[in-house]
Every structure is written in structure tokens, then in C-alpha cells.
């Protein structure tokens, strides 16, 4: 009998103690906030409304301010916890050889090229490289201009030719427009194709259309 009473007592204590502590902390903080804020706010707003009414409104406002601060603290804590979990997951990924290369490349690429509101890559294309009859996947960045355009007398297109499986490195080519074969696949699909070495990619059709829309 005594054992059951003791067990129930400690169980009740475990339930009641956090509630009492929470109530005491809230009471303490609200008292301090009232002490710090009530009188200055009363002096500021008291002339526009009866003293008792404005005092009650200010106390309610202080209470909700405290609730908002607690919610904000909870949100910040969740963000920190989620960030730590994500960081731990990244550490695991970086320990797996093949995944480390692919994930690291994608992350670097995202920050380098896709971190802005619009990607610097306009579309995916085929160019004959490194010789006639062999084709490489590249990404149009813009039209060439200036001295290169003037001295070649050709309509040149700036093409970035990434390497596999790390697309953050590669070569910059100035390719005549007529030597470029546009592809219908998206830039994201093109990146998947390059990073995977051709193992992952869409079944896109070659579309030999003009590049007049690339500016």
C-alpha cells in the first residue's frame, strides 16, 4: 500500500513540477516585463484612454509579446536542430566514396551556378568535340560579343563544356551558331547526364532549331 502511494506521489510530482516551474517562469518574466514596460507605456498611451482600460490592454499586449518570443525561440531551436541533423547527414554522405563525389559536385554546382534567381545556363546543346564525329554535351551561357565576334566574322555562342563526374570544372568554348545542335532536355537533366557519366538521363530528342532565342 505504502509503495503504491509512494509511486503515485513521485509520478504526480513528475507531472506537476514542470507545470509549476513553467507557470513560475512565466509569472516571473511577466512581472519583470510589467515593471520595465508598464509605466513607460502608461505614460505614453494613458492620455488617450482611461487609466484602468489602457493598463489592462498593455498587460494583455505584454503577455502576447511574451508568447510570441517563446514561439520565436522554439522556431529558432527547431531550425538549429534541423540544421545539425542535416549537417550530420552530410558528414555521412561525404564518407561514401561515389556518393561523396556526386553529392559534393551537385552542391558546389548549385552554389556556383544555380544560387542566383536564374541559372546562367540557358539551354543544353551538343557540340562536335574533341573532333568531328564525336559529340559533347555543353551549356549555352550567352552570345559571344566584342573582339572575338568581330575578328572571326561569325555568330559565336558561349558554351560551357563541363567534365564528368565533376561539372564544376570544364572548358569554355566559343562555337559558331551553325555548329551547335540544341537539345530539348532541361539544364537539370543535362547535369544528371553529365554527373552520372551517361547512366542517368532523359530520352530527349535532338531539335536542330535556330538559336535566335538565346540572348
Domain holding 143: CATH number? 2.30.30
Three-point CA angle 211, 212, 215, nearest 5°: 95
Number of domains making up the chain: 2
Q: Which helix (H) or strand (E) holds 34?
A: none
Tell me if 210 is assigned to some domain. no
Same-domain pairing of 64 and 124: no
- 200 belongs to a structural domain: no
Q: Which alpha helices (DSSP H) does the chain contain, by range? A: 2-33, 39-45, 51-93, 97-113, 147-152, 187-195
As a whole number of Å, the CA-based R_g of the chain is 32
Q: Where a domain ends, among 92, 108, 137?
A: 92
- CA angle, corner 139, sides to 103 and 97, nearest 5? 20
Q: What are the pLDDT tens digits along the chain (215 aa)? A: 677 777 777 677 667 776 677 777 777 777 777 777 766 776 666 666 555 667 777 777 777 887 887 788 777 777 777 667 767 777 776 777 666 666 666 666 665 555 554 567 889 999 999 988 899 999 998 887 778 887 887 889 999 999 888 777 889 999 999 999 999 988 888 888 888 888 876 654 445 455 555 55
Buried b (16+ CB within 10 A) or exposed e, 152-163: eeeebbbbbbbe
- What single DSSP character describes residue 46? G
123-128: strand order across its sheet: 170-176, 156-162, 135-143, 123-128, 180-182
**Which residue segment(s) compose the domain that 139 sits in?**
119-195
Amino acid at each position: 500500500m505504502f509503495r503504491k502511494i509512494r509511486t503515485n506521489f513521485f509520478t504526480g510530482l513528475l507531472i506537476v513540477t514542470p507545470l509549476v516551474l513553467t507557470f513560475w517562469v512565466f509569472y516571473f518574466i511577466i512581472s519583470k516585463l510589467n515593471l520595465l514596460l508598464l509605466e513607460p507605456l502608461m505614460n505614453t498611451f494613458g492620455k488617450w484612454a482611461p487609466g484602468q482600460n489602457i493598463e489592462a490592454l498593455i498587460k494583455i499586449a505584454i503577455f502576447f509579446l511574451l508568447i510570441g518570443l517563446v514561439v520565436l525561440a522554439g522556431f529558432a531551436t527547431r531550425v538549429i536542430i534541423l540544421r545539425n541533423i542535416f549537417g550530420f547527414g552530410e558528414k555521412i554522405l561525404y564518407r561514401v566514396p561515389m556518393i561523396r563525389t556526386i553529392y559534393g559536385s551537385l552542391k558546389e554546382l548549385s552554389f556556383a551556378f544555380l544560387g542566383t534567381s536564374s541559372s546562367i545556363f540557358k539551354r543544353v546543346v551538343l557540340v562536335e568535340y574533341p573532333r568531328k564525329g564525336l559529340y559533347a554535351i555543353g551549356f549555352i551561357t550567352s552570345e559571344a560579343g566584342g573582339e572575338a565576334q568581330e575578328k572571326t566574322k561569325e555568330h559565336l555562342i558561349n558554351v560551357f563544356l563541363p567534365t564528368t563526374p565533376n561539372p564544376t570544372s570544364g572548358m569554355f568554348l566559343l562555337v559558331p551558331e551553325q555548329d551547335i545542335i540544341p537539345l530539348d532536355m532541361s539544364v537539370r537533366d543535362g547535369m544528371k547526364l553529365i554527373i552520372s557519366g551517361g547512366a542517368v538521363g532523359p530520352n530527349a530528342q535532338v531539335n536542330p532549331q535556330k538559336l535566335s532565342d538565346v540572348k
